[in-house]
């Protein structure tokens, strides 16, 4: 479902059962997995890649330029070929809160949760809960989105009772 005033550029690939909200911008070559929801006025610049079941809140911006400039040092306008776009990768099941900004080249791990208004400047592990500007990890969340409780060497979801354990890139469901 694509709402009015949304812009989907050439070569953008949108998976099945997605919702693209009013006024959203999806750049050329962006890849969006199935069952993903992009809320109103979100801006997803290429070459971003979103996994399956991702939630992008209203007004979120996924950037693509590490060193943004409108002109060269001699004052001439920069051309599209004058810079190297770095895409944001958002893992499956992850949620990005309203008005958050994810900087170019950052990876947000599977099932991670970014709090509203956060500015993410470095990679976020799987199942991590990040908030603030710059964002920092303040805990872990499970697949249901609830903050996990530590139980010895494991983490438990208070809602689903699912168990997680620490792994190389965050947590793994056990």
**Is residue 152 domain-resident?**
no
Q: Are strands 107-108 and 19-20 parallel, antiparallel or unpaired?
A: unpaired
**Is residue 137 domain-resident?**
yes
Reported pTM: 0.95
**Is residue 41 domain-resident?**
yes
The CA-to-CA distance between both ends of the chain, in Å, stands at: 35
Into how many domains does the chain fold? 1
**Is residue 50 domain-resident?**
yes
**Is residue 13 domain-resident?**
yes
| pLDDT in single tens digits along all 174 residues of the chain | 899 999 999 999 999 999 999 999 999 999 999 999 999 999 999 999 999 999 999 999 999 999 899 999 999 999 888 888 999 999 999 999 999 999 999 999 999 999 999 999 999 999 999 999 999 999 999 999 999 999 998 999 999 999 999 999 999 999
Output the domain CATH number for residue 47.
2.160.10.10
**Is residue 59 domain-resident?**
yes
**Is residue 44 domain-resident?**
yes
Domain ranges, residue 22: 7-65+86-143
């Amino acid at each position: 479902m694509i709402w009015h005033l949304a812009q989907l550029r050439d070569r953008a690939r949108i998976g099945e059962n997605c919702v693209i909200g009013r006024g959203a911008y999806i750049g050329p070559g962006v890849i969006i997995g199935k069952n993903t929801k992009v809320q109103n006025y979100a801006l997803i610049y290429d070459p971003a890649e979103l996994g399956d079941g991702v939630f992008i809140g209203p007004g979120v911006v996924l950037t693509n330029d590490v060193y943004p400039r409108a002109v060269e040092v001699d004052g001439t306008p920069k051309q599209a070929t004058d810079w190297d776009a770095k895409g944001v990768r958002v893992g499956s099941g992850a949620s990005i809160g309203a008005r958050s900004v994810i900087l170019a080249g950052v990876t947000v791990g599977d099932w991670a949760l970014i709090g509203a208004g956060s500015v993410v400047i470095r990679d976020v592990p799987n199942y991590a809960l990040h908030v603030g500007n710059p964002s920092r990890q303040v805990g872990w969340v499970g697949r249901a989105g609830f903050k996990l409780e530590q139980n010895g060497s494991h983490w438990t979801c208070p809602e689903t009772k699912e168990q997680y354990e620490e792994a190389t890139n965050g947590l793994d469901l056990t």
